[in-house]
Structure 1
Amino acid sequence: MVKPPSSPSRQHSASGPIRIMLIGDSAIIGELKSGVLDGQDELAVVANPFNGNAAVGRLKCNDIDVVIMDIGMKEAEGVDTLPALFRADAEVKVIIVSTLSFSNVKAAMKGLLEGAAEFVALPSPSRRLNKARIGGELRGDLIATIKSLGLARRKTGRETKAAAAVVLRRHTITRPDVIAIGSSTGGPKALLDIFKRLPTNIKQPVLITQHLPAAFTVTLAASITRESRWKCVEGKDGEEIQKGTVYLAPGGFHMEVVSSAGGKKLIRLNNGPPVNFCKPSVDPMFLSIAKAYGPGVLALMLTGMGRDGFDGGKAVVNAGGTVIAQDEDSSIVWGMPGAVAMGGLCSAVLPLKDIPSYLRKAATGAKA
């Protein structure tokens, strides 16, 4: 799904505290407002409509950077209003918060595929009764996420010095043996957009690491399979990698590739500690793929916060493979793709809409 163009009715301010709209009047929203966001000089709650329909109106007449939505609301007032929110402001950044119940996971994944930037898992209600648990488990991650998304929102449509300074490498690949993709914030929607437009005559296997909790990755794999013509499955330990199949790292495990004695490429699930604060992490996948496939790797870095995947991208390049990245303007956050682009690893930095065509040409050897 391609986001509609931004409303031209007002100029978005790029100064002052990050402006937040909280949607809902639940205990969770009240808790976030009083227990997490109060006292943060760089953040300001400027609107708190009680439901999604009221939020659309407030978004049209208020200058908002980040929306925080509790999906514990009635669905008609929650994620189902995301399309209307993006029609009001296509570039606003939306964070979904909830506990990890089955129904909440389903609704949250729907929201991420609609264009929400991030999901933040809350402790269970019993654990949230202890205010110290909020500060220890939620406040730091949520505040960092809000700040990063707010700054990214303010950069939208403005060419930065970083983006202008990217120097591309010469292309070193003809036809890859494998395509590897790393993604994080905003990644589910970007992945779905790509696979909807990527023809299935591409025979290379595709391996993906997307930063998501365990309950979400099985849902994302099913969504890609259902919404595109591609078969997407969670990787299983010891599974032989097959052509034309998409393998998604399961939440809670690093997905790696090893070569068997007979030369077969197998998936290995690593239950080691988080890497770059992430599990699954992009770096272990890229590093292992570079070792297993050598110069036959085409690695793609999509939208995401942080620098996960930079070391693995360097290994891909050092092995003779190719790295490309999503550009800043089409990324929700240009952290991970920006790191490999600014680090001199990329042969191409592309808008999201141009990535399927690039992958098709590279994978099939087509000239046009």
Structure 2
Amino acid sequence: MIRRTDSALADRRVPRVLIVDDSAVARAAMSRFITGSGRFELAGALPDALRALAFLRKEAVDFILLDLVMPHQSGIDALPELLKAGAGARVLVVSSSAAEGAAVTLRALALGAADTLVKPSIGAFASRFGETLLARLDLLAAHGENRALPRRATVITPPPFDAIAIGASTGGIHALASLLEQVPASVTQPIFVTQHLPPSFSPFFAAQVGVFAKRPCAIAHERRRVVEGEVLIAPGDAHLLTAMQADGHIATHLSQAPSPTGNLPSVDPMFTSLAQTYGSRLLAVVLTGMGRDGLEGARAVRAAGGTIVVQDRDSSVVWGMPGAVAEAGLADAVLAPREIGAMIAARRPGLRA
């Protein structure tokens, strides 16, 4: 038995995976995929969360494959405890219930799951599912290989801003929740959010954001006037842009034009458009996510004199998007989401220059 030590995960070259699923068929199938890959080690396969918690008190793992519907305690209820007991292990939700609607999926992501994957029905665990499962684990494992850049100190007196733009992808829902929970109602600047999600998830996501942000939240639509204190979400099938109206008010504009990264919605066009609208008084934030979406937009923000803050590697599920901006030398600060929220809270309307 491998006992937990402070350096256990750092010294291990092969990521260890724990499966938590009440279905013996599912456990057996996923175990075969893990052991047959040659890239991951099967740490264990357990039928419920209680056994998993007991296991994690003695063993260190890198990943937990978690079903949501299980006896005694559901996976969604056990998720916070598993994350705490896992001490840095990332949770990939693998559940058939994730296909029933976006609400349970978004709740899992908001609670800290790294990603979700729809589990096939019994008897349908074909090699294609195994390839998809291993590909998801490969992407999450690659995050641990990124070199961390030195953290830049918290901006004690943040520069003034009239709008906040936030871009995120994988792991972004939990990061966004951690950030916005720190922002009080006294911060009345509008907040624009682009999160990579399918269109069907947008209504659930907007409702979820409204809850943890404790402020009005809506999906942006064409020519919607921007108001103070509101969060506007990019719809799942269009980029969120802004434009100055003839009456002097700022309104949203939606576009489906190709983006540099191919994402729809994309962070790049949102940042670029908002930089044109707000100039030096834009605060752009890049949270966890795969790829480089947001990098070109960050260049536009920098050219306009705006401020750019990115999530740090240690708190990111995948340090692709924020890492690309940081490595390009465009970040004014590299912080955890809660620290970014605290920085925003420090700049209240009465402090504007």
Normalising to structure 2: TM-score of the pair?
A: 0.84
RMSD: 3.3
Question: How far off is 1:102 after superposition?
Answer: 6.9
Question: How far off is 1:94 after superposition?
Answer: 0.5
Unaligned runs of 5+ in 2: none
Q: What residue number does 1:186 align with?
A: 171
Deviations 1:269-300 (A, max 9, x none): 33456763533221221122122322221101
Question: How far off is 1:251 after superposition?
Answer: 2.5
> Is the aligned partner of 1:229 residue 2:226?
no
Question: How far off is 1:103 after superposition?
Answer: 4.8
Q: What residue number does 1:118 align with?
A: 115
> Is the aligned partner of 1:364 residue 2:342?
no
List aligned pairs for 1:1-368, cutoff 5 A: 10-14=6-10, 15-26=12-23, 30-34=28-32, 37=34, 39-73=36-70, 76-99=73-96, 103-121=100-118, 129=124, 131=126, 134=128, 139-140=131-132, 142-152=133-143, 162-164=148-150, 174-271=159-256, 276=261, 278-364=263-349, 366=351
In structure 2, the CA distance between the partners of 1:190 and 1:366, relative to structure 1 (3 Å rule), is same
**SS of 2:108's equivalent?**
helix
Q: Given that residues 173 and 295 in structure 1 are in contact (C-alpha distance below 8 angstroms), is that contact kept between their aligned partners in structure 2?
A: no
In structure 2, the CA distance between the partners of 1:309 and 1:74, relative to structure 1 (3 Å rule), is farther
Structure 1: how far apart are the matches of 2:330 and 2:28?
44
Unaligned runs of 5+ in 1: 1-6
Look up the equivalent residue of 2:343 and give its one-letter code: Y
Greater CA drift, 22-31 or 250-259: 22-31
Structure 2: how far apart are the matches of 1:98 and 1:204?
38
**SS of 1:82's equivalent?**
helix
Deviations 1:113-132 (A, max 9, x none): 2211122346x759x95947
Question: How far off is 1:311 after superposition?
Answer: 1.0
The aligned length equals: 347
**SS of 1:269's equivalent?**
strand
Look up the equivalent residue of 2:276 and give its one-letter code: K
Q: Percent of aligned pairs with the same residue?
A: 32
Question: How far off is 1:77 after superposition?
Answer: 3.1
Structure 2: how far apart are the matches of 1:275 and 1:53?
46
Question: How far off is 1:104 after superposition?
Answer: 4.9
Q: Given that residues 195 and 230 in structure 1 are in contact (C-alpha distance below 8 angstroms), is that contact kept between their aligned partners in structure 2?
A: no
Look up the equivalent residue of 2:131 and give its one-letter code: R
Q: Given that residues 179 and 205 in structure 1 are in contact (C-alpha distance below 8 angstroms), is that contact kept between their aligned partners in structure 2?
A: yes
Q: Given that residues 182 and 309 in structure 1 are in contact (C-alpha distance below 8 angstroms), is that contact kept between their aligned partners in structure 2?
A: yes
Question: How far off is 1:365 after superposition?
Answer: 6.1
Deviations 1:174-215 (A, max 9, x none): 422210001222221221222222111112110011122333
Question: How far off is 1:149 after superposition?
Answer: 2.5
Question: How far off is 1:332 after superposition?
Answer: 2.6
Q: Given that residues 14 and 41 in structure 2 are in contact (C-alpha distance below 8 angstroms), is that contact kept between their aligned partners in structure 1?
A: yes
In structure 2, the CA distance between the partners of 1:260 and 1:73, relative to structure 1 (3 Å rule), is farther
**SS of 1:303's equivalent?**
coil
Q: Given that residues 167 and 344 in structure 1 are in contact (C-alpha distance below 8 angstroms), is that contact kept between their aligned partners in structure 2?
A: no
**SS of 2:8's equivalent?**
coil
Look up the equivalent residue of 1:147 and give its one-letter code: D
In structure 2, the CA distance between the partners of 1:275 and 1:145, relative to structure 1 (3 Å rule), is farther
Structure 1: how far apart are the matches of 2:87 and 2:333?
26
Q: What residue number does 1:3 align with?
A: none
Look up the equivalent residue of 1:19 and give its one-letter code: R
Look up the equivalent residue of 2:65 and give its one-letter code: I
In structure 2, the CA distance between the partners of 1:359 and 1:162, relative to structure 1 (3 Å rule), is same
Structure 1: how far apart are the matches of 2:297 and 2:156?
18
Structure 2: how far apart are the matches of 1:266 and 1:239?
5
